[in-house]
């Protein structure tokens, strides 16, 4: 069996100006997800270092994984230093590593997400809190609630009044006019 390397044990802080993006990452993040990443970093801090390759010739660290965390550091937080780890691979293997990191994150399964929404609701979270902290739109939350069962999920939901009850006498008088 191949020995597993542990670059994560060698995290170091480097000047953000020494870090640059690679020119091959196909991963794009839509504005709502970028805002969620920003919120996540604000709430939890940097929980993962940015994976880089050190280019000795240019004295720069090239991002392999964590480009959007790097962007947040630069664009939102104006950080002077960021946490990185380095791996030493040639370009083709760095490209493969970038794709592996991107794809290994997987996707959120709808049923599993609906159970999380149910659990958070049962813990007293409002739809607004779920929306803010999970980066979801209200209609997405409602759809997820529908999957786990309408009765329990909407027990504390405040519904708008789409009609008003009329006094029977007023209705009869109106009909007789």
Which pLDDT tens digit goes with each residue over 46-60?
A: 999 999 999 999 999
Q: Which domains does the chain have, with CATH numbers?
A: 7-104 (3.90.1530.10), 108-177 (no CATH)
- Decide if pLDDT at 134 tops 70: yes
Greater confidence (86 vs 106) lies with 86
- Decide if pLDDT at 160 tops 70: no
Mean pLDDT score, 86-93: 92
Mean pLDDT score, 61-85: 97
pLDDT digits (tens, 9 = 90+) for 4-58: 999 999 999 999 999 999 988 878 888 988 999 999 999 999 999 999 999 999 9
Residue the block writes with tokens 């209705």 = 171
- Decide if pLDDT at 97 tops 80: yes
Can you tell me whether residue 21 is helix, strand or coil?
coil
Cα–Cα distance between 137 and 131 in angstroms, integer?
6
Q: Which strands, in side-by-side order, build the sheet including 60-65?
A: 12-15, 81-86, 50-55, 60-65, 19-20
Q: Residue 171: what pLDDT?
A: 54
Q: Residue 44: what pLDDT?
A: 96
State the Cα angle at 106 between 97 and 87, rounded to 5°. Answer: 20
Q: What percent of the chain stands above pLDDT 90?
A: 46
Question: What residues are paired with 13 via a beta bridge?
Answer: 83
Length of the chain equals: 177
Greater confidence (33 vs 150) lies with 33
- Summary mean pLDDT of the chain: 85
- Decide if pLDDT at 113 tops 60: yes
Name the DSSP letter for residue 42. H
Cα–Cα distance between 61 and 52 in angstroms, integer?
6
Start-to-end C-alpha separation, the chain: 91
Give the pTM. 0.71
Q: Residue 158: what pLDDT?
A: 61
């Amino acid at each position: 069996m191949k020995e597993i390397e542990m670059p994560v044990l060698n995290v170091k802080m480097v000047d953000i100006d020494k870090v640059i993006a690679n020119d091959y990452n196909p991963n794009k993040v839509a504005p709502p997800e970028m805002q969620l990443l920003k919120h996540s970093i604000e709430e939890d801090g940097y929980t993962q270092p940015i994976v880089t390759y050190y280019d000795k010739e240019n004295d720069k660290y090239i991002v392999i994984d964590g480009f959007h965390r790097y962007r947040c550091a630069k664009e939102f937080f104006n950080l002077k230093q960021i946490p990185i780890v380095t791996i030493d691979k040639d370009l083709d293997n760095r490209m493969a590593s970038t794709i592996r990191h991107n794809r290994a994150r997987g996707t959120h399964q709808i049923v599993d997400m609906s159970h999380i929404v149910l659990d958070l609701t049962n813990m007293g979270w409002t739809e607004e809190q779920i929306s803010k902290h999970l980066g979801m739109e209200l209609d997405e939350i409602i759809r997820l609630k529908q999957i786990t069962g309408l009765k329990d999920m909407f027990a504390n939901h405040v519904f708008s009044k789409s009609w008003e009850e009329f006094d029977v006498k007023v209705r009869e008088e109106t009909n007789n006019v």
